[in-house]
Amino acid sequence: MQKLNFKRCGSLVAALLFCGLVQAQIQFEPDRTIKESRFGIIKNTILTIDDDAKAIVMRPLKNPNLEKNAVKLFTLVATDYMTTKLFQDHIEPLDVYVRSVVSFPHLFPNNRYLRPVAYGVDGYMYTGVTAMYAAGLLTGNEKMQEAGVLTVKAVVESYVVSHLILKSVVGRHRPARPLGDYTQTDRDSEYPFVHSPLDFFNLHINVLGSKAYGTGFPSYHATMFFAFASVNAKVFENKWIPYGLATTALLYDIRGHNHWVSELVAGAVIGEFIGKVVYENYHKQRSESNTTRKKKKFNTDFSVGQTFGVMGPSLTVSW
């Protein structure tokens, strides 16, 4: 029985990792021969906000695998009770082992300004990204600056798409813990935590903070962590470290997130896509800026010289 449980755990973890590691191929190779300035990085990031929004909004309409993905999502939701119960029984307890080797103590416990945001997994990610960008500025490392700025952008877009929009529209209630046990009376077993995976469209308007009512689909933390991983994997051309960090961060407080399995998978897929969009649109804009910069402009030169042996002013125009 124990071997069977380990197999089930391994299958679920592998499925989550697979969803994160399957990336859409980049359609171009970024030109790194021309260095971008620190102000250029920020400018190109800001100029592509509308391009990101358009790509995200149009994704359902332009997705070539829309029908297949819809079937996959339906299958995940239809099997959510079984997979989530398995997840609660065999995957969530693994966070004990993660916590035994990884901890996130408060970074600034005595600073009243930084204390609210610099704690837990989220705080370490925010602080780490800020430190990476600062190190990039000090050393002149363009990739570190790019990764820092693009990660912030991807996280903000993840928050807007996942938390503010999709959670409000889908309005799905989170799973009770433990599923199938109606005798429990703790916080995670009472309404709005439910035993049915089909409790959708509890419509409401989300606020910036977090609340339990109708905020299950998709998992914002899965979206955010995999958007972070997607951007950094592309910038540094190494997917194992960013996705390893994202998976560890997600597993660290997996009970606290309290999601159906389909919500974790959907969050990972959405975050992966947002990271890809942010990275590709930035580099398209960067390429266009560099092309414009390299175009020759008219040069004029006014001087005094001889023309056919006659002294006088001359104007030279070159392009």
What DSSP line would sit under the chain, residue for residue?
-HHHHHHHHHHHHHHHHHHHH--PPPSS----SSPPPHHHHHHHHHHTHHHHHHHHHHHHHH-TTHHHHHHHHHHHHHTHHHHHHHIIIIIGGGHHHHHHH-----S-TT-TTTTTTSSHHHHHHHHHHHHHHHHHHHHT-HHHHHHHHHHHHHHHHHIIIIIIIIHHHH-PPPBPSSTT-TT--SGGGSTTSBS-TT---------SS--STT--SS-HHHHHHHHHHHHHHHHHT--HHHHHHHHHHHHHTHHHH---HHHHHHHHHHHHHHHHHHHHHHHHHHHHHHHHHHS---EEEEEEEEETTEEEEEEEEE-
Query: CA 15 to CA 135: how far, in whole Å?
Result: 35
**Which pLDDT does position 197 carry in this prediction?**
94
- Domain-embedded: residue 303: no
- Domain-embedded: residue 51: yes
**Which pLDDT does position 318 carry in this prediction?**
52
- Domain-embedded: residue 168: yes
- Domain-embedded: residue 94: yes
Query: CA 76 to CA 261: how far, in whole Å?
Result: 8
How many Cβ atoms are within 10 Å of 275's Cβ, its own excluded?
30
Write out the chain's pLDDT in tens, 319 residues. Answer: 444 444 444 444 444 444 444 444 445 567 667 788 889 999 999 999 999 999 999 988 887 788 888 899 999 999 999 999 999 998 888 888 878 888 888 888 888 888 777 788 888 899 999 999 999 999 999 999 999 999 999 999 999 999 999 999 999 999 998 898 888 777 778 888 999 999 999 988 888 777 889 999 999 999 999 999 999 999 999 999 999 999 888 888 788 889 999 999 999 999 999 999 999 999 999 988 877 765 544 454 545 555 555 555 555 555 5
Q: What are phi and psi for residue 4, nearest 5 degrees?
A: -65, -40
- Domain-embedded: residue 301: no
**Which pLDDT does position 22 carry in this prediction?**
43
| Domain that residue 153 falls in | 2-291
How many Cβ atoms are within 10 Å of 193's Cβ, its own excluded?
20
**Which pLDDT does position 314 carry in this prediction?**
55
Query: CA 163 to CA 28: how far, in whole Å?
Result: 31
Sign of CA pseudo-dihedral 294, 298, 303, 307: positive
**Which pLDDT does position 313 carry in this prediction?**
59
- Domain-embedded: residue 300: no
**Which pLDDT does position 139 carry in this prediction?**
93
Query: CA 164 to CA 151: how far, in whole Å?
Result: 19
- Domain-embedded: residue 314: no
Query: How many domains is the chain partitioned into structurally?
Result: 1
The tokens describing 101, both together, are 């080797």
Q: Are strands 299-307 and 310-318 parallel, antiparallel or unpaired?
A: antiparallel
- Domain-embedded: residue 179: yes
